[in-house]
C-alpha cells in the first residue's frame, strides 16, 4: 500500500519523499451536485448551520424524476430524493454514477477537550505530542461524555428522520479506525430500524482516518483491539494489526491526505456494481426489450447511500476531493453530499506521490505559537526531528 511505503521511508529520516505510484489508465473524477442540499450553497454559514434543523439540510423542491412518476404527491421529500437518486443513476452513461454520501464527524474526544484546556498553541507545540496526562489519555482519544451525547443526537435524528420522512438508511457503512470514530458510529447506528438487507456492519478503513500529524491522537490502536470492541465489524483488505502509517516524526501534508481520501473513495465507488469500473452494464439503461432488471427500484444499482464516520480534517479533505465548498463541522455533526463520479481515461504515466513533512515542536512547556510556528521556552528550543516527548508507550484502552 502506498501509504505504508511512505511511512516506512519516513522512519528512515528522509524529509522529502516522492515515490512513483503505479500508472493508471483510468481515474475517477468527483463532483458535488449542487441544488439538493443547503450545505452546498455559498450563502449557508457552516459555523451556525444546524444539521438537525431540517432534513439534514435537504432542500424542499421538485425533481426531474417527479415528472416521470405520477405517484409522488404523497411521498416525503426524502422518499422523492431517493427516487431522484435512482433516476440519476438509471439515466446516466455507463461511466457515470451518483451516490449520496453522509459524512459524520466523531463526537468530542479527550484530545478536543485537552486542546480547549491547554489552549491551541500549547496543545499544538507540546501537549499533543504526549499520550496524555496523569488523569486523561488523548492517544487515540476516546469520547468524552459530551462526545457520547453528540453521537446520541445523531442517533435520535436518524430515528426521527425515519419516523417522519421514511429516510433511506445507508446501504453501506465505512468508519475510520480511530476509537472516537468507531464509538460514534456505534452509538449513531445502534438500535435503528434498519432494513434486513442493509444491516449496520461497517467496514473499518484506514483511508478515512484523521490527517496524520505528529499528535498522539492520530495514532491508532491495534486491529485486535478494534475486533475486541466490535467483533462482527469488518476490515478493508490489507488492514494491518499495528498502525503502520502514523510515524510520530513526520506529518502527512494536505496533498498526501487528499490522495489517500481519493483512493478510499475510488475503492468505494469502484465496488458499486454499476459504478465506474463496473464491467457489464447493459448498453440500454432505459429498459428496452431484453433488459431484465428494470423494475424502477434501482435493482441494478448498489450502495447508493453511503455513510462515512470520520474526522473534521478528513471530512474537509473528502470535501476538497469532491469539489464541495469548505464546510467545517462541529464535533458530532453530519453532512450529506450528492456526489457524481465519472470515470475518465488518462494517458499512462508515472504519478508523483505527495510528500510528508516535518514540523517543529517544543520539548517542554510552556509553549506558545505565532503565525510562523512554535515559540518554546529558551531552555527547550523547537526541534523537528527525533521522537516527540511522549515516547512510544501505548496506554491501556478504556473498556467500552
Ligand atoms: C489532564 O488534562 C485534562 C484535559 O483533557 C484536564 O481536564 C485535567 O485536569 C488534566 N489533569 C491534570 C492532572 O492536570
Ligand atoms: C455497539 O457496541 C456495543 C458494545 O460493544 C455492542 O453491544 C452493540 O451491539 C454495538 N452496536 C452495534 C450496532 O454495533
pLDDT per position as a tens digit, 60-91: 999 999 988 878 888 999 999 999 999 999 99
Residue 396 lies in a domain: no
- Write the CATH number for 300: 3.40.50.1240
Taking 70 as the threshold, does the pLDDT of residue 388 lie above it? no
Ligand 2 centroid from CA 190, angstroms: 7
Q: Is residue 353 part of a domain?
A: yes
Which residues are catalytic, by number?
106, 210
Instruction: Report how far ligand 1's centroid is from the alpha carbon of 148 (Å).
Output: 19
Q: Is 223 in the pocket of ligand 1 (CB under 6 A)?
A: no
Please identify which residue in the block is written with the cell numbers 473513495. Answer: 265
- The reply to whether 127 falls in a domain is no
Reported confidence tier of residue 214, pLDDT bands at 50, 70, 90 = confident
From 298, 276, 263, select the one nearest 171 (Cα to Cα): 298
From ligand 1's centre to the CA of 114, what distance in Å?
A: 7
At residue 5, the pLDDT reads 36
Return the residue matching grid coordinates 511511512: 7
Give CA–CA dist 188/182, Å, rounded: 10
Which whole number is the average pLDDT over 306-313?
Answer: 98
Instruction: Please work out whether the CB of residue 136 comes within 6 Å of at least one atom of ligand 1.
Output: yes
Show the domain range for 195: 3-108+143-359
Give pLDDT, residue 120: 87
**In a 3-state reduction of DSSP, which class is residue 341?**
strand
- CB 31 less than 6 A from any atom of ligand 2: no
pLDDT-based confidence at residue 385 (cuts at 50, 70, 90):
low
User: Does residue 123 lie within any of the structural domains?
Assistant: no
In a domain, 366, yes or no: no
- Find cell 527547550 and name the residue: 380
Least confident range from 177-191, 199-213, 247-261, 351-365: namely 351-365
Average pLDDT over residues 172-193: 98
pTM of the model: 0.84
Of ligand 2's atoms, which has the minimum distance to the CA of residue 189? 13
Q: Closest Cα partner for 335 from 351, 311, 352, 362? A: 311
Residue 128 lies in a domain: no
Nearest Cα to 104, choosing from 43, 145, 52, 68? Answer: 52
Q: What's the domain count of the chain?
A: 1
116 Cβ inside 6 Å of ligand 1? no
Strands 20-21, 203-204: pairing kind: unpaired
pLDDT digits (tens, 9 = 90+) for 99-140: 999 999 999 999 999 999 998 888 888 889 899 988 999 999
Q: How confident is the model at residue 366 (pLDDT cuts 50, 70, 90)?
A: low
In a domain, 15, yes or no: yes
- Does 252 reside within a domain? yes
Amino acid at each position: 500500500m502506498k501509504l505504508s511505503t511512505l511511512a516506512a521511508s519516513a522512519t528512515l529520516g528522509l524529509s522529502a519523499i516522492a515515490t512513483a505510484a503505479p500508472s493508471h489508465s483510468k481515474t475517477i473524477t468527483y463532483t458535488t451536485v449542487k441544488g439538493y442540499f443547503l450545505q452546498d450553497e455559498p450563502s449557508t454559514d457552516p459555523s451556525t448551520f444546524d444539521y438537525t434543523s431540517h432534513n439534514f439540510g435537504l432542500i424542499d423542491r421538485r425533481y426531474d424524476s417527479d415528472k416521470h412518476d405520477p405517484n409522488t404527491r404523497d411521498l416525503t421529500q426524502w422518499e422523492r430524493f431517493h427516487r431522484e437518486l435512482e433516476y440519476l443513476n438509471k439515466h446516466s452513461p455507463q461511466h457515470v454514477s451518483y451516490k449520496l454520501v453522509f459524512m459524520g464527524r466523531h463526537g468530542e474526544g479527550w484530545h478536543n477537550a485537552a486542546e480547549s484546556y491547554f489552549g491551541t498553541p500549547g496543545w499544538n507545540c507540546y501537549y499533543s505530542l504526549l499520550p496524555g496526562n496523569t488523569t486523561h489519555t488523548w492517544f487515540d482519544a476516546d469520547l468524552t461524555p459530551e462526545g457520547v451525547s453528540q453521537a446520541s443526537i445523531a442517533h435520535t435524528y436518524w430515528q426521527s428522520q425515519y419516523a417522519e420522512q421514511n429516510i433511506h438508511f445507508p446501504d453501506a457503512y465505512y468508519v475510520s479506525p480511530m476509537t472516537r470514530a468507531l464509538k460514534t458510529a456505534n452509538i449513531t447506528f445502534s438500535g435503528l430500524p434498519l432494513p434486513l438487507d442493509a444491516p449496520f456492519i461497517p467496514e473499518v478503513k484506514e483511508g478515512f482516518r484523521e490527517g496524520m500529524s505528529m499528535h498522539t491522537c492520530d495514532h491508532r490502536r491495534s486491529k485486535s483491539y478494534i475486533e475486541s470492541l466490535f467483533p462482527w465489524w469488518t476490515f478493508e483488505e490489507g488492514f494491518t494489526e499495528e498502525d503502520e502509517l502514523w510515524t510520530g516524526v513526520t506529518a502527512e501534508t494536505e496533498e498526501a491526505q487528499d490522495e489517500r481520501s481519493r483512493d478510499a473513495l475510488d475503492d468505494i465507488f469502484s465496488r458499486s456494481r454499476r459504478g465506474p469500473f463496473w464491467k457489464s452494464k447493459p448498453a440500454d439503461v432505459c429498459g428496452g426489450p431484453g433488459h431484465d432488471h428494470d423494475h424502477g427500484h434501482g435493482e441494478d444499482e448498489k450502495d447508493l447511500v453511503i455513510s462515512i464516520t470520520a474526522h473534521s480534517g478528513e471530512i474537509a479533505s473528502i470535501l476538497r476531493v469532491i469539489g464541495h465548498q469548505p464546510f467545517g463541522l462541529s464535533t458530532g455533526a453530519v453532512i450529506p453530499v450528492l456526489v457524481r463520479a465519472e470515470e475518465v481515461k488518462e494517458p499512462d504515466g508515472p504519478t508523483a506521490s505527495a510528500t510528508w513533512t516535518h514540523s517543529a515542536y517544543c520539548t517542554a512547556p510552556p509553549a506558545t505559537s505565532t503565525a510562523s510556528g512554535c515559540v518554546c521556552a529558551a531552555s527547550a528550543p523547537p526541534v523537528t526531528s527525533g521522537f516527540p516527548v511522549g515516547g512510544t508507550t501505548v496506554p491501556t484502552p478504556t473498556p467500552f
